[in-house]
A and B are shown apart, each in its own frame.
Chain A
Amino acid sequence: MSKKSFRQAINEALRQEMRRDPTVVLMGEDVAGGQGGSSGVKDAWGGVLGVTKGLLTEFGESRVLDTPISEASYIGAAAGAAATGLRPVAELMFVDFVGCCLDQIMNQAAKFRYMFGGKARTPLVIRAMYGAGFNAAAQHSQALYPLFTHIPGLKVVVPSSPYEAKGLLIEAIRDDDPVIFLENKVMYDDIEEVPDEAYTIPFGEANLTREGDDVTIVAIGRMVGMANEAADRLAKQGISCTVLDPRTTFPLDEQTILECVEDTGRLVIVDESSPRCNMACDISALVAEQAFGALKAPIRRVVPPHTPVPFSTPLENLYMPNADKIEAAVKAVMMQKTREVA
């Protein structure tokens, strides 16, 4: 056990699964290094953010495939390779690029098992970075997990820390269905204790990072850290919060969300994706339908405005949810009452 960054945890998961299973291959733009191509140096960078560093050197060009800049072709190839016996991990770089290959994901990979009557498996992982806070502007900052969660046939993972990332990525690679694995680009240097051995974290089980009595905060991906920070501040003010990290938006651990709301009676949902039809809407609907009687106050959502992500730093800061906004939302639900008891 030692401290590892989010980046190292993902690299280690890929490396250990590639060692364990020769059918695991990597595909993507610059996964074989990048930048070094013209100078003749291979694996100079390990991808745009260094996540796949060292894998080309260890596993060679037959398993670490540097692809042309054509998402439609290599994501399609990865889906086909998965259906015919490999376990490809394809890297889409920025998740925003899914616009170029949505048919391959939505109509092909996600549908194979169903369309072939269960006779086909598609053990495909698509890794991509998501999220604002990096000054990457409107075309490289979106948090598109609701888009994938909407498509039946996909599993969607949004890890919240290095420990979570390693275990969930190994689980994703061993899973026989297509999995979208989304890495928040602001978190690559986050550090925490991560076991050296391979391990898995099952999909569809939420993790409680704080346990409290007053308010349940459901937070996704990078928002979990912010929710923890808000919860710690609120604890000093006498408000105790449960912080729930769903880990996967599909499958979604409905049971744990409902149990926590039953316990606390108040719900705040923190989601950095655009506010229409996002996870906060979905979880609100779940709780309104199945735990309405437990609610002591209306549900609050801490979400960005419905605009493209701004490039300007002050505007991007204003756009993003943060610990202050979460703290304010929790205080607001503590003050509110839905119904007076007659």
Chain B
Amino acid sequence: MTKNLTALTMPKFGLAMTEGKLASWTLSPGDAVREGDEVADIETSKITSGYESPASGILRKQVAQAGETLPVGALLGVVADAEASDEEIDAFIASFTADTAEEGGGEAEAANADPRVITVGEHSLNVRDVGRGAGAPVLLIHGFGGDLSNWMLNQDVLARHQRVIAFDLPGHGASSKDVGDGSVTVLAEAAYELLKALDIPKAHILGHSLGGAIALALLRDYPDAVLTLTLVAPAGLEREVNAESLREMVEADRTRDMQKALQALVHDKSLVGRRMADNVLRVRRLDGAREALRTIEAACFANGQQSIDLRPVLDAARIPVTLFWGEEDEVLPVAGAKNAPDHVVKHLLPQIGHMPQLEKTVEFNRLVEAFLEKAQVTA
């Protein structure tokens, strides 16, 4: 394809996402677009998110109209060079539609991508294990009050090159609710036991927020299991934390209160709708879920401060470490990144809150892919 025709297709944001609504086009036909530019807004039951162009060129054709609900993978539009003729674009659309009709094998693959609950020591952990490839596996560790869907925009992208495992921490999501003393030591042990159960001797660890502190604790307690660290707005580096926001994340029992609590996690508040808050509340209302979070809160964030100090672990780290932090983080201040040691590759993201992996997806994924690739080569 010399004319660089690229299909824009309905993305798959979440585990359960089978279709999405094209809420609106951001660009008009004929507009120039660069790779990573937002071209459309996609709405699902869980999230509204910008769809970023996978290629540079000109938005030549909008195949789908605003307001249409389409299955994942459906053709939305075509980006191409100016030289491509209208006939070539029409032919591309026709062949794309034919190819998609032939495939149909997506169902079996989708079934594999469903999370499953496995027994790891004293815990039952809800695990989503996808991807294969030459690279060493990646373990994703979500933050306090989150679950594996926090990686819904990242896991499948990273899984193009290697096996990527996301799981619900003990006390979270669909995992069992016993969290012991609630310390990062206990949670890191659960993560290590999970790697052992999956027969993974060494992994790249990505940790977000409290998951970042757990990743550091993994490095401290099981140094041989950790190849690289990717820390996303990690806990454990400074004292300061938005304690009220944490409390609301646990205790909010009304949709509007939970929506407000979740909005503190992002800079663009419109990302968090009622439905997302309802989904989090479903998990909170399971027996034992709030108690587990309170135990972790008491162990890690006592008296309105972070009570875990993993700074020495980061300072002493002898493996590749990269750090992402949104400059508008309202939960853990970005100051934590500014004091990080020199050997850490830092990415400070303007206009982004506590969840860069959701708010700045394409750039985040690209930087993580590059970091992992470099680490593989060096290793």
Residues of A in contact with B (beta carbons under 8 Å apart)? 1, 167, 195, 197-202, 205, 207-208, 211
B362 at the interface (CB under 8 A from A): no
Cα distance A184–B287 in the bound complex, in angstroms = 26
Q: Is the CB of B286 within 8 A of A195?
A: yes
Other A-B pairs, 5, CB within 8 Å; known A167-B285, A199-B286, A202-B254: A195-B282, A198-B286, A199-B282, A200-B287, A208-B274
Given A1-B174, A211-B274, A211-B275, the answer on whether A205 and B287 have CB atoms closer than 8 Å is: no
Cα distance A198–B285 in the bound complex, in angstroms = 8
Given A195-B286, A199-B285, A199-B286, the answer on whether A205 and B274 have CB atoms closer than 8 Å is: no
Taking the closest CB of chain A, its distance from the CB of B21, in whole angstroms, is 10
Within 8 A of A (CB), among B173-220: 174
Residue contacts A-B, CB under 8 angstroms, 6 given: A195-B282, A195-B286, A197-B287, A198-B286, A199-B287, A211-B275
Chain B interface residue count, Cβ-Cβ cutoff 8 angstroms: 13
| Residues in chain A near residue B278, CB distance under 8 A | 207
| Residues in chain A near residue B287, CB distance under 8 A | 197-200
B369 at the interface (CB under 8 A from A): no
Cα distance A197–B275 in the bound complex, in angstroms = 21
| Residues in chain B near residue A205, CB distance under 8 A | 254-255
**B253, B274, B275, B282: the one within 8 Å of A202 (CB):** B253
Within 8 A of A (CB), among B242-264: 253-255
Cα distance A200–B281 in the bound complex, in angstroms = 10
**A1, A200, A207, A208: the one within 8 Å of B285 (CB):** A200
3 A-B pairs with the lowest CB-CB distances in the bound complex, closest first: A198-B287, A199-B285, A199-B286
CB 8 Å contact bits of B258-292 with A (1 = contact, 0 = none) = 00000000000000011100100010011110000
Cα distance A231–B275 in the bound complex, in angstroms = 17
Cα distance A211–B273 in the bound complex, in angstroms = 10
Given A208-B274, A211-B275, the answer on whether A201 and B254 have CB atoms closer than 8 Å is: no
CB 8 Å contact bits of B100-142 with A (1 = contact, 0 = none) = 0000000000000000000000000000000000000000000
Cα distance A200–B282 in the bound complex, in angstroms = 9
Taking the closest CB of chain B, its distance from the CB of A98, in whole angstroms, is 30
| Residues in chain B near residue A208, CB distance under 8 A | 255, 274
Taking the closest CB of chain B, its distance from the CB of A77, in whole angstroms, is 29
| Residues in chain B near residue A202, CB distance under 8 A | 253-254
Taking the closest CB of chain A, its distance from the CB of B19, in whole angstroms, is 13
| Residues in chain B near residue A197, CB distance under 8 A | 286-288
Cα distance A206–B286 in the bound complex, in angstroms = 19
Taking the closest CB of chain A, its distance from the CB of B289, in whole angstroms, is 8
Cα distance A198–B278 in the bound complex, in angstroms = 17
